[in-house]
């Protein structure tokens, strides 16, 4: 860059900074210093000075908004995080991050800082100053406007809106305590655009102001219909004569109608969803969960009608997650929430987003733009920015339905990625309501902690987030509303389907999977498509596993045939299965409820060939698919195996928030029971007689023997008293378990083989199925005599010594604790050592849960880690024999 060009740009920046001299005086800042440093050829000093100025500005914001904590001494990054919830503009946030990035670069050796970098830093500082100066905010100047606080806030909002649309403020006059005039301008190619806003509490005040000025203020030659008279009062008053005819008169709460066609948006939302899914006047109850600031655990704070609790959130602000079973009424509640906009006293504008329609690789910005562009009177490039401004300013309530259907992958990382995107629209004023199925909140401690509050995330999880490139402080905070079943007979969707199928009420009402399958087969039969059910399963079931939930009519013709459309017309009304679909647009459809497609995915997985085709694709699996798979498999049960042989093939494994299909490559035969004291004693006798070198792991440290760790045993006579001969061998380490398995000509199972053997081919939660039965398992709940549903209940039981007598029991004490392959006692009693070793941690994976764990920890997907040298009263093992 030439010195002449640099001097010219510095002169321009100096003039622009002079426009903010009031900020400099009020905060004691010297805007001249970074300009001088640039002129002297020290851009790195200019960047450092801009960073210091930015810190001072953010500290002022911090204190103005009463952000908890003392901003003194905090780093720039911390100040941005603290002030971020109170900054409405995405442009200001981007400018602050650019300043932080440039300062970080200039502070590290090895980065060459150019004049352009320093100029950029000053330009970003100007963007920040221009926002607060242009919106009339006195935060940085200390100015006390003569406007009434209510009018000042409204004027600030309107100015921010037009700044978001790239208008520049030209004039601003506070004409009285209740009236303010603002003029904005922008260039669009060769066209100049102006907007005049006259904001006042009532028409009488406007008339008085115009009469006092003789109307000179409004005698402009601007383009037609660019002038707005914005009043707080309803009704159309008599128009003051100085306004002439060149104006539009609106009330403040209807001003956004100039930008958003809310009525059409909501009409399209409700038109897309069949009445089948509405609860027909059913009252849905819920538990409002709030986070204990001391313990970080969620507790029920209120119980009541879910729609009333939701409306309170939408009116008063706050971000809420609705959780509940599939079909529990989450979508209906969100639609009721946005439908109440016409009568809402606050946040009249409410948007509904069906997150299941968001593409897997589609950014949230792109999805919002695609969804709202038909209803917003701004260019597409501004749709998200305007929506973002509305949301962060608290002017709208956003309903995001089915966030678990929009995650790029059904993993913790997938949720974090989505939550980080959603965090863009959250602020101290926002009201964002999302919905998800309950398993994602209750079955994943990591996800639950993220939803509970960022301040409660463990240090270990913070490290994981940073490793994944996720800023934990940008993950949104939610309170939670847990929906209750409407009645003991089932969820709203189950009740509606039962009515549709003309089934009587009663305690024997079928489960959702049965109702949905009956409804699906009835619709297919009515359409003459009964013979096509296998094709329907293959088409839509496999599509779900590939993450595909929307379908064009052309695609359906190609995959299913033209016979699925009446008269060969490719329209929604002509589609023979439209009863459980909804239109997405004029050329495509999606299922009316995700449960339908998840049921077809489960049906597809029941077929071995379906599992084989899915396993290679890394399928998208949900807890609902798993539950449907298990329940549909129960309806056509196969004779359970009793030979303890795990066949080769793909199996559904993993916790509910990270379900996977994984292949077992070779068949193995499991020990029917865990290794007992009697069996292990025979091994010890052989070791004492012959030594153990021929059976030892090559990495076994020489100082370890295979004797049980006597000092650790709760019962000192455990290995010598014949009464314990049929109890599991405990207090032995991985090295001993490995040697014992080789002694018997076997090996330890991998953690995958262990879970597959416990779970079977239908994805069940426990070896015996999904049902909870305290009589067939040795766990903390059975010792306590009551269900320990929450972590707090189990911790209380443990701390009070009520589990002090708990210990392993005989391996054959619970005949009902048996897997589909005849393997016994895989849940509870003792954890079991596997052959899956994490070499870098020197730890081994253990499975199954133990006598002192709560029931939920006994799910077959539960895994733990144990040091290879470690041993415990709660850890045993079993072996497998390879079969070819």
Nearest to 654 by CA among 626, 679, 628: 626
Q: The domain that contains 40 carries what CATH number?
A: 1.20.120
Indicate whether 247 and 290 sit together in one domain: no
| Strand-pair category, 168-176 with 179-188 | antiparallel
Q: Tell me how far the alpha carbon of residue 813 is from its chain's centroid.
A: 42
Nearest to 289 by CA among 135, 148, 422, 448: 448
Nearest to 584 by CA among 276, 261, 357: 357
| Residue 642 maps to a domain | no
Q: The domain that contains 859 carries what CATH number?
A: 3.90.1580.10
| Residue 656 maps to a domain | no
Query: Exposed (0-12), middle (13-18) or buried (19+): which is 186, by Cβ within 10 Å?
Result: middle
Which of 637, 652, 683 terminates a domain? The answer is 637
pLDDT of residue 344: 54
Close Cβ partners of 637 (under 8 Å, ≥ 6 residues apart): none
| Residue 240 maps to a domain | yes
Indicate whether 395 and 544 sit together in one domain: no
Q: Which domain holds residue 175?
A: 149-258
Close Cβ partners of 635 (under 8 Å, ≥ 6 residues apart): 514
Q: Is the CB of residue 662 less than 8 Å from the CB of residue 752?
A: yes
pLDDT of residue 281: 56
| Residue 462 maps to a domain | yes
Helix, strand or coil, per DSSP, at residue 138:
coil
Report how far residue 292's alpha carbon sits from residue 290's, in angstroms, rounded to the nearest whole number: 7
| Residue 537 maps to a domain | yes
SS (H, E, C) 183-237: EEEEEECCEEEEEEEEEECCHHHHHHHHHHHCCHHHCCCCCCCCEEEEECCCCCC
Indicate whether 816 and 863 sit together in one domain: yes
Backbone dihedral region of 736: left (phi > 0), alpha (psi from -120 to 50 degrees) or beta? alpha
Which of 483, 502, 535 terminates a domain? The answer is 483
Which of 201, 230, 258 terminates a domain? The answer is 258
Indicate whether 330 and 437 sit together in one domain: yes
Q: Render 662-712 in DSSP notation, one character per residue.
A: EEE-S-EEE-SSPPBHHHHHHHHHHHHHH-STTTS-TT--TT--SS--GGG
pLDDT of residue 617: 79
Q: Is the CB of residue 761 less than 8 Å from the CB of residue 651?
A: yes
Report how far residue 773's alpha carbon sits from residue 762's, in angstroms, rounded to the nearest whole number: 19
Q: Residues 631-642, buried b or exposed e (16+ Cβ, 10 A)?
A: bbbeeeeeeeee
Beta pairing partners, 652: 661
| Residue 696 maps to a domain | yes
Indicate whether 453 and 350 sit together in one domain: yes
Indicate whether 848 and 707 sit together in one domain: yes
Beta pairing partners, 565: 575
| The pair of three-digit structure tokens given for residue 747, joined into one six-digit string | 């090996």
Indicate whether 853 and 795 sit together in one domain: yes
Q: What is this structure's pTM?
A: 0.79
The DSSP H or E segment spanning 47 is: helix 43-64
| The pair of three-digit structure tokens given for residue 170, joined into one six-digit string | 């030209």
Q: Is the CB of residue 776 less than 8 Å from the CB of residue 861?
A: no
| Residue 176 maps to a domain | yes
SS (H, E, C) 607-666: CHHHHHHHHCCCCCCCHHHHHHHHHHHHHCCCCCCCCCEECCEEEEECCCCCCEEEEECC
Indicate whether 190 and 321 sit together in one domain: no
Indicate whether 234 and 276 sit together in one domain: no
| Strand-pair category, 875-877 with 831-838 | parallel
Q: The domain that contains 291 carries what CATH number?
A: 3.40.50
Give the total number of structural domains in the chain: 5
pLDDT of residue 13: 85
The DSSP H or E segment spanning 414 is: helix 412-422
pLDDT of residue 882: 94
Indicate whether 868 and 790 sit together in one domain: yes
Report how far residue 93's alpha carbon sits from residue 474's, in angstroms, rounded to the nearest whole number: 12
Q: Is the CB of residue 102 less than 8 Å from the CB of residue 111?
A: no
Q: Is the CB of residue 224 less than 8 Å from the CB of residue 246?
A: yes
| Residue 500 maps to a domain | no
Q: Is the CB of residue 383 less than 8 Å from the CB of residue 372?
A: yes
Report how far residue 102's alpha carbon sits from residue 97's, in angstroms, rounded to the nearest whole number: 9
Indicate whether 396 and 290 sit together in one domain: yes
Backbone dihedral region of 654: left (phi > 0), alpha (psi from -120 to 50 degrees) or beta? left
Q: How many helices (H) and strands (E) in the chain?
A: 31, 24
What is the block-wise mean pLDDT of the chain (884 residues), using blocks of 10 residues? 72 86 89 89 90 92 87 87 84 90 80 86 90 85 81 89 89 85 85 83 76 59 61 53 56 82 86 58 74 57 81 75 82 82 60 88 91 92 92 87 81 73 80 73 42 38 45 57 67 82 71 91 93 94 91 94 93 92 88 92 92 86 90 75 92 87 95 97 94 93 91 93 96 96 96 96 92 88 78 76 88 94 95 93 92 87 91 95 88
pLDDT of residue 222: 58
| The pair of three-digit structure tokens given for residue 553, joined into one six-digit string | 């009519």
Indicate whether 617 and 672 sit together in one domain: no
């Amino acid at each position: 860059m030439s010195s002449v060009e640099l001097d010219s740009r510095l002169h321009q920046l100096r003039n622009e900074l002079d426009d903010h001299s009031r900020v400099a005086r009020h905060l004691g800042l010297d805007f001249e210093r970074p300009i001088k440093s640039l002129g002297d050829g020290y851009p790195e000093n200019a960047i450092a000075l801009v960073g210091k100025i930015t810190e001072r500005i953010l500290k002022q914001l911090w204190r103005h908004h009463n952000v908890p904590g003392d901003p003194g001494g905090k780093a720039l990054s911390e100040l941005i995080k603290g002030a971020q919830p109170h900054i409405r503009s995405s442009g200001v946030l981007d400018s602050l991050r650019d300043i932080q990035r440039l300062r970080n670069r200039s502070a590290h050796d090895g980065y060459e800082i150019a004049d352009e970098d320093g100029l950029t830093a000053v330009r970003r500082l100007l963007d920040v100053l221009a926002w607060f100066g242009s919106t009339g905010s006195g935060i940085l100047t200390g100015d006390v406007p003569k406007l009434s606080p209510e009018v000042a806030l409204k004027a600030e909002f309107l100015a921010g809106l037009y700044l978001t649309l790239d208008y520049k403020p030209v004039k601003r006059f506070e004409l009285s305590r209740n009236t303010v005039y603002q003029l904005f301008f922008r260039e669009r190619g060769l066209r100049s655009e102006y907007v005049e806003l006259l904001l006042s509490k009532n028409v009488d005040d406007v008339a008085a102001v115009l009469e006092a000025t003789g109307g000179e203020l409004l005698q402009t030659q601007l383009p037609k219909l660019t002038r707005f008279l914005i009043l707080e009062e309803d009704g159309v008053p008599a128009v003051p004569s100085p306004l002439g005819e060149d104006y539009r008169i609106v009330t403040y709460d209807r001003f956004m109608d100039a930008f958003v066609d809310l009525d059409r948006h909501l009409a399209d939302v409700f038109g897309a969803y069949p009445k089948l899914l509405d609860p027909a006047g059913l009252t849905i109850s819920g538990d409002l969960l709030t986070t204990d600031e001391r313990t970080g655990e969620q507790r029920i704070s209120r119980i009541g009608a879910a729609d009333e609790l939701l409306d309170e959130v939408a009116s008063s602000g706050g971000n809420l997650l609705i959780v509940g079973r599939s079909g529990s009424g989450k979508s209906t509640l969100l639609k009721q929430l946005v439908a109440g906009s016409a009568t809402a006293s606050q946040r009249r504008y409410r948007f509904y987003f069906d997150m299941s329609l968001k593409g897997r690789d589609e950014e949230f910005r792109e999805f919002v733009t695609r969804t709202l562009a038909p209803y917003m009177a701004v260019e597409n490039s501004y749709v998200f920015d305007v929506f973002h401004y509305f949301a962060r300013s608290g002017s709208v309530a956003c309903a995001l339905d089915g966030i678990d259907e929009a995650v790029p992958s059904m993993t913790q990382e997938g949720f974090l990625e989505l939550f980080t995107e959603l965090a863009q629209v959250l602020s101290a004023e926002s009201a964002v309501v999302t919905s998800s199925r309950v398993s994602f909140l209750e079955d994943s401690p990591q996800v639950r902690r993220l939803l509970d509050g960022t301040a409660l995330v463990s240090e270990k999880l913070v490290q994981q987030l940073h490793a994944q490139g996720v800023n934990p402080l940008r993950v949104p905070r939610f309170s939670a509303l847990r929906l209750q079943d409407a009645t003991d007979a089932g969820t709203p969707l189950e009740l509606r389907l039962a009515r549709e199928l003309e089934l009587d009420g009663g305690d024997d009402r079928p489960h959702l999977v049965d109702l949905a399958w009956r409804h699906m087969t009835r619709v297919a039969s009515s359409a003459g498509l009964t013979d096509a059910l296998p094709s329907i399963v293959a088409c839509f079931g496999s599509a779900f596993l590939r993450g595909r939930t929307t379908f064009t009519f052309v695609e359906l013709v190609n995959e299913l045939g033209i016979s699925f459309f009446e008269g060969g017309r490719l329209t929604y009304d002509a589609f023979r299965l439209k009863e459980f679909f909804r239109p997405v647009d004029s050329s495509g459809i999606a299922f009316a409820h995700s449960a339908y497609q998840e049921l077809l995915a489960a049906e597809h997985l029941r077929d071995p060939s379906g599992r084989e085709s899915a396993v290679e694709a890394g399928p998208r699996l949900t807890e609902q698919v798993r539950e449907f798979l298990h329940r549909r498999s129960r309806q056509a049960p196969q004779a359970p195996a009793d030979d303890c042989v795990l066949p080769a093939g793909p199996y559904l494994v993993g916790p509910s928030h990270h379900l996977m299909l994984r292949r077992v490559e070779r068949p193995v035969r499991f020990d029917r029971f865990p290794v007992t004291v009697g069996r292990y004693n025979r091994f010890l006798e052989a070791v004492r007689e012959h030594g153990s070198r021929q059976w030892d792991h090559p990495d076994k440290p020489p100082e370890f023997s295979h004797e049980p760790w006597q000092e650790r045993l709760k019962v000192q006579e455990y290995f010598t008293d014949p009464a314990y001969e049929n109890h599991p061998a405990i207090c032995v380490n991985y090295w001993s378990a490995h040697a014992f398995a080789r002694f018997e000509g076997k090996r330890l199972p991998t953690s995958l083989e262990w879970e597959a053997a416990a779970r079977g081919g239908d994805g069940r939660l426990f070896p015996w199925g999904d049902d909870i039965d305290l009589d067939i398992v040795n766990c903390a709940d059975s010792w306590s005599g009551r269900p320990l549903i929450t972590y707090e209940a189990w911790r209380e039981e443990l701390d009070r010594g009520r589990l002090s007598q708990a210990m392993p029991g005989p391996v054959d004490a619970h005949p009902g604790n048996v897997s589909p392959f005849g393997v016994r006692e895989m849940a509870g009693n003792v954890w079991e050592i596997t052959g899956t070793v994490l070499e870098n941690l020197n730890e081994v994976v253990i499975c199954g849960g133990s006598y002192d764990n709560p029931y939920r920890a006994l799910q077959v997907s539960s895994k733990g880690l144990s040091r290879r040298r470690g041993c415990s009263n709660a850890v045993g093992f079993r072996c497998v024999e390879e079969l070819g």
